[in-house]
Amino acid sequence: MTQEPVFEESSGNVFADLGLEDASELFMRGKIGIQVLRLLSQRNLKQREISELLGIPQPEVSHLMKGEFQRFSEGKLLIFLKRLDTEINLHLRPRHASGQSAETVISL
């Protein structure tokens, strides 16, 4: 007898689906980190060159290239994007807005 596979719909955040306490932070680091990796792969740089460009030791470059984003703060990953000549805009607004609420945009 074959058992039908069980599927569960994702929330869109794999870390939340796994029940991790800091799921939204891990998800944000992952999204930023993947963008850093995309930009680095477009440049086709050696790890030594990436180390110089991002201002981190070569062993940390190795961790970054393996997708170990939990080793870096969100701030550090954003600094990497800036060093990769990326314009960053943060949109700040209340999570649960009632009526008209102000939004603040910060360009980094």
82-86's contacts with Cβ under 8 Å and 24+ in sequence apart are 82/108, 83/53, 83/54, 83/55, 84/36, 84/39, 84/40, 84/43, 84/53, 86/35, 86/39
Residue 4 is predicted with a pLDDT of 85
Higher pLDDT, 86 or 93: 86
Per domain, the residue ranges of the chain are 15-107
Topology adopted by domain 15-107 = 434 Repressor (Amino-terminal Domain) (1.10.260)
Tens of pLDDT, residue by residue over 18-46, are 999 999 999 999 999 999 999 999 999 99
- Cα dist. 101→82, 85, 93, 95, 105 in Å? 29, 32, 7, 10, 13
Determine the average pLDDT of the residues in 41-54.
96
